[in-house]
Amino acid sequence: MIPIQVSQAPVITGQIVSVGDGDTITIKTSNGNITVRLACIDAPERNQSGGKEAAQRLTAILPKGMSVKVTPVDKDQYGRTVGIVVTTQNINQQLVQEGLAWVYEAYINKCQNIATPLRQAQKVAKEKRVGLWSQSNPCPPWDYRKNQCVTASPVPVPNQQKKCDPSYPDFCIPPAPPDLNCGDIPQRRFRVLQPDPHKFDRDKDGIGCES
C-alpha cells in the first residue's frame, strides 16, 4: 500500500463500537460515542450490489473494541464527523484498494493530502478487477441513490453490423461520421470496445460516458 501523510488536524482517538455500512462507523471517545463517515470514499449502499460485502469487510478490518485514530476533515448534513480513519494503515485507502469503495471525487478536495494515493489505489483495483471492479459496469453509489443505475441489455437491431457500431455492443450507436459526444446520446455508463471511434471512453477503462 502506498504510504500517505495526513494533515495536522486535531485527531480523535477512540474504540470501535459498531460498523454501520461500508463507509460508516461508530466509535467510543472520551466525550462519548460519535459516528464517523469515512472521508473521500463512497462504498455501495447495503441494498446495492457489493454493499453487504463492503460492510462485512469493514467489520473484519475494524472489530469491536479496536483502537482507531480519526483525522476530521468535515461534518456532513447529518452531523456526522467525516474523517480519515487510521489503525496501522489508512482504512479509507485500504477499502478503495480492495475494490470495496470508489474514490468520491465530488469531495476529494477535502482530502488533498491523500488524493493521489486514493486515486492510485483505485487505479490498481480497476486493473486487477478486484471487488466491485469484477463487474463489467459497476454503478457508483451516488448514481444508485439517484436511481440512475441502468442495466444495459443488447437491443436487437436489423442489419446491426451496418447501422450500429460494434464498439458499443449494448446499444445501437451509429458509426462515425458524424462524430458524437456524450451530450449527443442519452446513454450513460455503457460498455465500450476498442477502437471506440466516438471516443466515449476517454480513460480507456471499458466504460463510456461515466459522468
**Residue 80 falls in the annotated catalytic set:** yes
Q: Which of 37, 57, 188, 189 is catalytic?
A: 37
Longest dimension (CA), the chain: 69
**Residue 189 falls in the annotated catalytic set:** no
Q: Which of 46, 53, 57, 80 is catalytic?
A: 80
CB-based burial, 78-97: b 16+ in 10 Å, e otherwise: eebbbbbbbeeebbbbbbbb
**Residue 45 falls in the annotated catalytic set:** yes
Omega within 30 of 0 (cis) for the link into 156: no
Please give the Cα distance from 105 to 97 (Å, whole number).
Answer: 15
Task: Report the catalytic residues.
Answer: 37, 45, 80
